[in-house]
Amino acid sequence: MKREKFSSSLAVFLATLGSAIGLGNIWRFPYVTGMNGGGAFLFVYLFCVLLVGIPVMISEFFIGRKTRSNPVIAFEKLGGRKWSIVGYMGIIASLLIMFFYSAVAGWVYSYTFKSLMGKFNGATLESSKDIFINTITNPKGVILWQLTALLVVAIILTMGVKGGIERATKILMPVLFVLILICDIRALTLENSLEGIKFLFAVDFSKLKSSSILTALGLSFFKLSLGVGAMITYASYFTDDDNLMSTSLKVALSDTLISLLAGIAIFPTVFAFKMEPSYGPGLLFITIPLIFSKLPFGNVLLFMFFLLTSIAATTAMLSLVEVPVAYLMEVKKIGRIKSVLMVTCIIALFGSLAALSVEGNVLSNVKLLGKSVFDIFDYLSSNILLPLGGILISAFVGYFVRREEVIIEITNKMRIKNVNPLKIYLLVLKYATPILIGIIFINSIF
């Protein structure tokens, strides 16, 4: 069976960016930035992206394109049998993330539908809260919407790398960008919009705590889809002549830009209505519907906002699900459609447990070490497997792969003569990246 590839550098960029852009940009990044000193935090975040995010991303790109294999075989080819365990860890991490991520994606899908149906017309704080609680505690509803989100992802993936992932991201990424710009223009033309901009951008070093650095590191990792083999898998489909260094830089910067644009759509509106900027579910599912519905044409705006959030979640899930799919296809020799079906069923099974374990839903009493099923999946993936994967990936490329091999893969295919930037990257990868991630890892555990 011939392995598929993306058809151009643009396709490579859009698919990879599609993986990076997700729920993280909309419900986590803007708020975390505002709370940790705005511009000061951005500075720290960009520093983490440069010292940790980009080196790990280039390493994943190298591993994937060099071996043109799924993460398990990729590590085996480059480092021998024992390293394939890092690939298996990636598969488990991507599944764990999917279990809770698809639950939230289901809520977002249901909100897109609800806003289209005008459910938030004349919303009050009370009604907005009620709708949210009803959405996440209705067992049939959460499962139905989670399955819908999974079905959309599955259909795209059965169409393959070019016909599915490439085609979908080529259409959806520009749509997402236009929708976010429309929301931004509306937000910036509101009275008082400056307050929100100040919250997001004003440089306030006094709000920067030592924990902000840890937050920034963890955020950059999740944001850039690192440590779970998603970037390895996508890079195994990259074109031969794609410039890996510039792709990683472009993806990291564009992803940050989209997070900031999301913040610009959200906070000026929040402050214009003199609301408190809140976090996560409260911000996305209660505050936003409430305030958007108060604007002229608020319904349309709200629909556009949730549509763009659905798009972001969907393109991120494509890359998460493709990790186990690529493994089943190449190692177990199962066809694409069957592989997608199998992985989707596993995610639907465990994912519905996560969705049903949310506060107020039927399984909310099931606790393990004081955590709900949802939180356990989140904790194991974000706090343990992701950083561990990052340390192992950077240490692997930094210490166990021959330097020449890395230099040849990354520069020679592009016929790049000046290898100095790459040499700097290799130094960072060897001496800074694993240590920095090690610090977050130890800190997050204790």
CB atoms within 10 A of CB 36: 22
Residue number of the CB atom closest to ligand PFF = 22
Three-point CA angle 112, 136, 384, nearest 5°: 100
Q: Between 22 and 298, whose beta carbon lies closer to ligand PFF?
A: 22
CB atoms within 10 A of CB 114: 17
Q: How does DSSP classify residue 4?
A: P
Beta bridge partners of 372: 367
Q: Between 20 and 291, whose beta carbon lies closer to ligand PFF?
A: 20
Q: Between 27 and 303, whose beta carbon lies closer to ligand PFF?
A: 27
Q: Between 271 and 374, whose beta carbon lies closer to ligand PFF?
A: 374
Tokens representing 246 are: 């510039």
Per the CB < 8 A criterion, the answer to whether 230 and 222 are in contact is: no
For 341-403, what is the HEC assignment? HHHHHHHHHHHHHHHHCCCCCCCCCCEECCEEHHHHHHHHHHHHHHHHHHHHHHHHHHHHCCH
What element of type H or E holds 106?
helix 84-116
Per the CB < 8 A criterion, the answer to whether 297 and 106 are in contact is: no
**Least distance to ligand PFF, CB of residue 389, Å:** 10
- The residue ranges that bind ligand PFF (CB under 6 A) are 19-20, 22-25, 94, 97, 222-223, 225, 228, 230, 316, 319-320
Beta bridge partners of 203: 38
**Least distance to ligand PFF, CB of residue 110, Å:** 18
Per the CB < 8 A criterion, the answer to whether 293 and 285 are in contact is: no
Q: Which conformational region is residue 196 in: left (phi greater than 0), alpha (psi within -120 to 50 degrees), or beta?
A: alpha
**Least distance to ligand PFF, CB of residue 299, Å:** 26
Spatial separation of the C-alpha atoms in residues 211 and 199, rounded to whole Å: 19
Q: Between 98 and 131, whose beta carbon lies closer to ligand PFF?
A: 98
Q: Between 252 and 291, whose beta carbon lies closer to ligand PFF?
A: 252
Tokens representing 215 are: 């937050």
**Least distance to ligand PFF, CB of residue 109, Å:** 15
Per the CB < 8 A criterion, the answer to whether 255 and 87 are in contact is: no
Three-point CA angle 378, 105, 224, nearest 5°: 60
Q: Between 52 and 290, whose beta carbon lies closer to ligand PFF?
A: 52
Q: Between 14 and 291, whose beta carbon lies closer to ligand PFF?
A: 14
**Least distance to ligand PFF, CB of residue 315, Å:** 9
Q: Between 73 and 385, whose beta carbon lies closer to ligand PFF?
A: 385
**Least distance to ligand PFF, CB of residue 31, Å:** 13
**Least distance to ligand PFF, CB of residue 123, Å:** 26
**Least distance to ligand PFF, CB of residue 269, Å:** 22
**Least distance to ligand PFF, CB of residue 23, Å:** 4
